[in-house]
């Protein structure tokens, strides 16, 4: 069955460091992969989308990589700030169905 795996353990880092979150998937051939931020009690907020034919995408302090051979995406936040503390979800979409499947998310805690 299709599966999306994100590290269930919270990632704790110091302010100013680079946070790296991982999204692995199996039995899936996504057309694109998305990353979202979710704060407690709120809906996810779209951050970045990367297509299967793209290796890397950047937006301000955010960088996403997508390796379809390894079936893995890495999400980086450089110069992290306490305000970046949240849960980050990855989502896969086959493209034609427009129905994203979400991972459970990884909690990021940035300490001042």
The site string for other proteins over 78-107 (x = CB under 8 A, - otherwise) reads -----------x-x------xxx-xxxx--
**Which one of residues 26, 45, 56, 58 is an interface residue with other proteins (CB under 8 A)?**
45
Sign of the CA dihedral running 19, 43, 89, 48: negative
Given a contact cutoff of 8 angstroms between Cβ atoms, the answer to whether 51 and 31 are in contact is: yes
Q: Closest approach of Cβ 6 to other proteins, in Å? A: 9
Residues at the site binding other proteins, with contacts judged by CB under 8 A: 4, 32, 34, 36, 41-47, 49, 51, 89, 91, 98-100, 102-105
């Amino acid at each position: 069955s299709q599966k999306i795996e994100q590290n269930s353990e919270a990632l704790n880092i110091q302010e100013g460091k680079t946070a790296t979150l991982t999204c692995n998937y199996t039995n899936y051939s996504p057309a694109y992969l998305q990353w979202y931020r979710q704060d407690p009690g709120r809906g996810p907020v779209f951050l970045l989308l990367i297509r299967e034919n793209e290796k890397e995408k950047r937006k301000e302090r955010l960088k996403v990589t997508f390796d379809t051979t390894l079936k893995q995406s890495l999400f980086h936040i450089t110069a992290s700030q306490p305000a970046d503390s949240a849960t980050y979800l990855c989502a896969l979409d086959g493209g034609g169905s427009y129905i994203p499947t979400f991972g459970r998310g990884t909690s990021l805690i940035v300490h001042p």
